């Protein structure tokens, strides 16, 4: 496989500072070498962090992103930097979760995408946020996202 086809990537293999905000983050992609296949790509981010827009306190979530690629694949380092850029970003759980999904759809135009945002409780109330672009493609195997509902310590 020729490295020439990866010359457009600016972050992979380079020392890159965490973007100051999600708007400043660059999501890069590579060509899907199997565009005729229907398969699922999963990214799991068990330590996602953002800030409450009212109190400024940190919020934590376990994100699971599944997508069926079309012509592009998300380059994983750029996704890691994008997700990390939320660390100092004020946003409600719903806005962060759905905003991540919409940004990925805009950048890579997948055949299908879903995200599960499993937010840890603050104030005693966990909020889970789920989004998908529509019905999953016919014949695709979709494993369970594997995150148990919050049950506390009992």
Write out the catalytic residue numbers: 52, 59
Cα(82)–Cα(12) distance, integer angstroms: 13
Query: For tokens 């496989």, what's the residue?
Result: 1
8 Å CB contact between 110 and 67:
yes
Phi, psi of 77 (to 5 degrees): -65, -40
CB-based burial label for 7 (10 Å; 0-12, 13-18, 19+): exposed
- DSSP for residue 1: -
């Amino acid at each position: 496989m020729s490295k020439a086809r990866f010359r457009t990537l600016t972050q992979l293999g380079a020392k890159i500072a965490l973007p100051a905000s999600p708007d400043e983050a660059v999501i890069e992609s590579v060509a899907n070498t199997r565009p005729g296949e229907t398969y699922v790509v999963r990214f799991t981010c068990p330590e996602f962090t953002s800030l409450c827009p009212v109190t400024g306190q940190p919020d934590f979530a376990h994100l699971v992103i599944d997508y069926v690629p079309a012509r592009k694949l998300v380059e994983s380092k750029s996704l890691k930097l994008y997700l990390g850029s939320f660390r100092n970003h004020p946003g409600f759980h719903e806005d962060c979760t759905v905003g991540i999904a919409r940004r990925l759809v805009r950048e890579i135009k997948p055949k299908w995408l879903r995200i599960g945002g499993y937010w840890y409780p603050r104030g005693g109330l966990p909020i889970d946020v789920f989004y998908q672009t529509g019905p999953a493609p016919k014949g695709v195997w979709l494993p369970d996202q594997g995150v148990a509902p919050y049950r506390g310590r009992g």
